[in-house]
Amino acid sequence: MNSQQKLDDYQLCIRALSDRIVEAQTPIRVLDAVKWDDGIRDGFLKAKGKQPPAVDRDYYLSRPLAFDAAAKKLEFQNIERDITRQLGQFNPVGQIMRRMCKEYRMVIRMLEARGTEDFGLISQELYGAASDAFHAGDPTLADLGLMLSDYLNNIAARGDLEDEAKTLGASDAVNILQQRLAGVFGDDTIRVFESDGILADAAAGADYIKIRSDARFNERDVKALEVHEGLVHVGTTLNGLNQPICTFLAKGPPSSTVTQEGLAILMEVIAFASYPTRLRKLTNRTRAIHMAEEGADFLEVFEFFREQGYGLEGGYSNASRVFRGSLPTGLPFTKDLSYLKGFILIYNYIQLAVRKGKLEQIPLLFCGKTTLEDMRTLRKLVDEGLVQPPKYLPPQFQDMNALSAWMCFSNFLNHLSLDRIEADYANIL
C-alpha cells in the first residue's frame, strides 16, 4: 500500500472485507495443484511416448491440496455473507467481491475434482471452452485457431521468417530482463532469477519473474517476456498492491486471467514483440484443447504436437498442459484458451472505447487484476476515490495517441468485406 491516508468507516469496511478475500485465497495455487511431477514425465519418456502417462484419480488423491477444501469453501461463503450484510446487495464493490468469492469456491470444487470428469466441466465454466463463440453467430475459439493456423501455413514456407537462433541462456535472459525492467519499475522493484521448478520458459509472481534454468532464448523471446511477464503481469500486480482500499485487485480469480493474458498478448503485438512461431504456439494450444474436448486422448494430442514439429519432450510438455488436473483420457484443463480469447475481447473493448470516446477507461485495465465486465464499475470507483489509477503503465498506454489512431482505422476497416477485397485485389496480389 502506497498511501497512509486516513480512511473513513465505509472505506475501512471495504478494506477489511477485501483483505479477508486476499488472505483466504493465499493457499490456493491452481497450477501447483494440477501439475504432473517429474516422475510422470520420466515414465512417459522412458516408454518413448508409446504409453499414456501414469495418471489416475488415485494419483491426485496422493497429492493432497495445501488447504482444507471444505473449510476454505465455508470461509469464502462467510465472507460473501458478510459482504452482503455490511455493504448491501447492490453495492458495486460488494458485487465484485461476492463474485470473486463465488469464483474461488468454484476453483476449490474444480481442484477437489482432479482426475474426474467434473474437473474439465468446471474448468470450462471458469475459463471457457474452445467451442465458445465470441458473440452470437460469430466464429468460435476453435474456428479462430484453425483460421490462424491456415494463415501461418501460408507464410511458413517463405524462409525469411524463420526464428533467430536461440543463443541466449537463462542467465543471459535474466541479466537483460533485470536491466530493462529496472528502467521501468526502479532498480529494486522486480527480481528476475533462474528456477528449475517451472513448466513454461518463464513465470511471473508478485514482484519477480522466474526463468527456467535450461531454457534457451533469442532477442525476440526476451522482448516478448519483457512486455508479457514484466509490463503486464508484474505491472498489474504491483498496481493492485498499490491499492489502499480495494486490495483484492492484487489477486486474480480465473475471470481476470482472460483479461491478463489478453492484455499480455496485445502488448506483444503492439510492441512488435510477437512473431509467427509465438502465434503458432498459442493456436496449437487452442487446437489441442478443442481436440481433447472432442474426445482425443493424451496420445492423440501428443501426436498432434509431434506433427507440429515438437520432439518427444516438447510434445509431452505441451500435451501435459492440456491434460494437467485431468486424466489422459479426460476433458482438458482449458486455462490456455485465455490467450487468444483474451486478446480478441480486449481488442474489441479498446476499439469500442475509442469509438465511444471513452479513452479514460482503457488504462484502467492495468489498475490491478481486473475483469472486463467490471470496467464500468472500476471507472466509478476511481471517481469515488476507492480505486487508485494504475501507477505503472506500458508506454503504449501512457500516451493514447498512437493506439487511438490505430483503433480509429480499425473501426472503419471492420466495415469492409474481406471477400470483396480479395476478389478486387486478385490481379495485383
Does 94 reside within a domain?
no
CB atoms within 10 A of CB 415: 6
Q: What domain count does the chain have?
A: 1
Does 390 reside within a domain?
yes
Task: Specify the pLDDT at position 53.
Answer: 97
Does 317 reside within a domain?
no
Q: Which uninterrupted H or E stretch holds 202?
A: strand 202-204
Task: Specify the pLDDT at position 267.
Answer: 94
Does 204 reside within a domain?
yes
Task: Specify the pLDDT at position 210.
Answer: 94
Residues contacting residue 231 through CB under 8 Å, at least 6 positions apart = 184, 267, 392, 394
The residue behind cell 483479461 is 259
Does 67 reside within a domain?
no
Q: What angle do CA 389, 366, 207 make, to 5 degrees?
A: 100
Supply the mean pLDDT for the chain: 92
- How far, in Å, are 25, 124, 163, 164, 197 from residue 102 at the CA level? 12, 15, 44, 45, 30
Does 174 reside within a domain?
yes
Task: Specify the pLDDT at position 127.
Answer: 95
Residues spanned by the domain of 380: 133-294+329-428
Q: Is the pLDDT of residue 4 over 50?
A: no
- How far, in Å, are 35, 176, 192, 309, 324 from residue 187 at the CA level? 33, 13, 11, 40, 37
Nearest-CA neighbor of 359 among 420, 403, 411? 403
Reported as a single tens digit per residue, the pLDDT across 318-368 is 999 999 999 999 999 999 999 999 999 999 999 999 999 999 999 999 999
**Model-level pTM?**
0.90
Q: Tell me which of 143-157, 206-220, 384-398 is least confident.
A: 143-157
pLDDT band with cut points at 50, 70 and 90 for residue 159: low
Reported as a single tens digit per residue, the pLDDT across 91-111 is 999 999 999 999 999 999 999
C-alpha cell at 31: 497450477
pLDDT band with cut points at 50, 70 and 90 for residue 153: confident
| Rounded Cα distance, 130 and 107, in Å | 19
Q: Is the pLDDT of residue 197 over 80?
A: no
Q: Is the pLDDT of residue 177 over 60?
A: yes
Does 235 reside within a domain?
yes
Does 359 reside within a domain?
yes
